[in-house]
Amino acid sequence: MAAEHQGREPLERIAVMGAGSWGTTFAKVLGDAAEHHGSRRSIRLWGRSPEVVADVARHRNTRYLGDIALPAAITATLDPAEALEGAQLVVLAVPAQSLRAQLTAWSAHVPRGAVVLSLMKGLELGTDKRMSEVIAEVTSLPAEQIAVLSGPNLAMEIARSQPTGAVVACTDHGTAQWIAEACTAPYFRPYMSTDVTGVEIGGIVKNVIALAVGICEGKEMGDNTKATVITRGLAETTRLAVALGADLTTMSGLAGLGDLVATCSSKLSRNHTAGRLLGQGLDAEAVGARMTQVAEGIKSAPAVLELAQRLGVDMPITAGVVAVLRGELPVGKLEPLLLARQLKSEGD
Ligand SMILES: NC(=O)C1=CN([C@@H]2O[C@H](COP(=O)(O)OP(=O)(O)OC[C@H]3O[C@@H](n4cnc5c(N)ncnc54)[C@H](O)[C@@H]3O)[C@@H](O)[C@H]2O)C=CC1
Ligand SMILES: O=C(CO)COP(=O)(O)O
């Protein structure tokens, strides 16, 4: 089926770089999808922990996914070159701030014809680049070989085969379709888009807004407050996305509103959890020490704010979260600061 698009061959050899909660879960999606379609597929998962790699050989990743069974198509290795050899699709699922260094080390092993798919939801500190931009810089691959996937995709729910949607975006529709077909599983429904910027910005900024909603929860505020932060959070996400050339409709889709709602309401979300701890009075350092998995919003928030300021985009919730993270604003002052802003029309 995939061979019908752009002359691409069926997707049989995949490397997934990153054996944390999302990398492992997405590998499972790809394995279950192949099984469902009766296709042959080899999925090589690269991990940096010998314990995790040994566990995956027993079809488990207990550290991240408890007793969930992994499909037989998944094998694991500590050797990035072995994972990448012959891969038609290279899936990246490491923390955003570590991507540039890791991909630089791996890039000689990325097959030239491969498509690289980012699962990451972070903005690079210091450059304010999206992950697709970092991938393009490091690998020099053309845009039609770089794709992103985002949406309301809390890994643990998907690992338990609970149904969800997602968006695969690539400037080349055929590439997006090739990937979407390859990851369509009975519980996973991808949609396609060519709006790479919008899909990435939705995923990046919702983590910052989830920190803000978590703060509200930590301070035991009610649902009106949280709904207001979510809605105005979507407004500032949309302003930034549109200023960067994204499509407005992406923001009301799964990678915009969908992911924002999931992350801001779920106890499974690491960003939401980190926000709750901030709201309870812990400082950013203490929160970081408590987290065992990446909460991308903590590092991405200052980059989002810098990007917005450079573009002249007003992002008051993001600015407040950054001030709290930097220890410049006591968490108790965030609410009065946001409420005391000058009156404006809702559409502005
Ligand atoms: N977990 C989820 O529900 C979802 C996560 N994402 C995104 O996927 C990306 C990866 O997230 P997760 O797999 O959840 O993270 P995680 O914290 O569960 O796992 C990260 C993995 O990267 C590895 N790693 C490699 N280099 C690292 C380094 N320098 N520092 C730290 N870890 C390193 C870790 O060993 C671990 O296997 C993030 O950008 C996240 O926002 C997106 C959708 C859902
Ligand atoms: O991106 C996610 C859900 O779509 C996961 O959110 P957290 O990284 O906050 O856990």
Domains 2-194 and 197-339 share a fold: no
- Tell me the ligand closest to 275's alpha carbon: 2
pLDDT at 58 > cutoff 70: yes
What is the C-alpha separation between 313 and 301, in angstroms, rounded?
Answer: 14
What is the C-alpha separation between 1 and 153, in angstroms, rounded?
Answer: 25
Pocket of ligand 2 (CB under 6 A): 121, 152-154, 207, 210, 259, 262-263, 269-272, 296
Residue 327 labeled ligand binder: no
Residue 269 labeled ligand binder: yes
Average pLDDT over residues 125-147: 98
**How many angstroms separate the alpha carbon of residue 121 from the centre of ligand 1?**
9
Contacts of 216 (CB under 8 A, 6+ apart): 225, 226, 229, 275, 279
**Looking at residue 2, what is its pLDDT?**
36
**Of 13, 24, 21, whose CA–CA distance to 46 is shortest?**
24
Q: Are 132 and 196 in contact (CB under 8 A)?
A: yes
Q: pLDDT grade, residue 42 (50/70/90)? A: very high
Pocket of ligand 1 (CB under 6 A): 18-23, 47-49, 64, 93-96, 98, 102, 119-122, 153-155, 293-294, 296
**Looking at residue 7, what is its pLDDT?**
62
Q: pLDDT grade, residue 31 (50/70/90)? A: very high
CATH number of 197-339: 1.10.1040.10
What is the C-alpha separation between 132 and 138, in angstroms, rounded?
Answer: 10
**Looking at residue 98, what is its pLDDT?**
98
Tens-digit pLDDT profile for residues 321-331:
999 999 999 99
What is the C-alpha separation between 15 and 80, in angstroms, rounded?
Answer: 9
Query: What residues does each domain of the chain span?
Result: 2-194, 197-339
Tens-digit pLDDT profile for residues 192-228:
999 999 999 999 999 999 999 999 999 999 999 999 9
> What residue has token string 């499974």?
268
Average pLDDT over residues 19-38: 97
**Model ipTM value:** 0.98
**How many angstroms separate the alpha carbon of residue 118 from the centre of ligand 2?**
14
- Closest residue by CA, ligand 1 atom 9: 120
Indicate which atom in ligand 1 lies nearest the CA of residue 22.
Answer: 13
* Phi, psi angle pair for 190, to nearest 5°: -85, 140
pLDDT at 187 > cutoff 90: yes
- Tell me the ligand closest to 26's alpha carbon: 1
Pairing of strands 89-92, 115-118: parallel
For a pocket test of ligand 1, which of 49, 51, 94 has the largest count of ligand atoms closer than 8 A to its C-beta?
94
Average pLDDT over residues 37-66: 97
Average pLDDT over residues 15-32: 98
pLDDT at 4 > cutoff 60: no
| Catalytic machinery residues | 206
| pTM for this model (two decimals) | 0.97
The letter for the amino acid at 206 is K
Q: Are 238 and 253 in contact (CB under 8 A)?
A: no
Average pLDDT over residues 111-128: 98
Buried b (16+ CB within 10 A) or exposed e, 81-120: eebbeebbbbbbbbbbbebbebbeebeebbeeebbbbbbb
What is the C-alpha separation between 235 and 303, in angstroms, rounded?
Answer: 18
Q: Are 173 and 144 in contact (CB under 8 A)?
A: no
**How many angstroms separate the alpha carbon of residue 257 from the centre of ligand 2?**
13
Alpha-carbon distance values, 346 to 71, 86, 92, 104, 240 (Å): 48, 52, 38, 44, 16
CATH superfamily of 2-194: NAD(P)-binding Rossmann-like Domain (3.40.50.720)
Residue 38 labeled ligand binder: no
| DSSP for 124-173, written as a single string | -TTT--BHHHHHHHHH---GGGEEEEESS--HHHHHTT--EEEEEE-SSH
**How many angstroms separate the alpha carbon of residue 5 from the centre of ligand 1?**
30
Average pLDDT over residues 247-258: 98
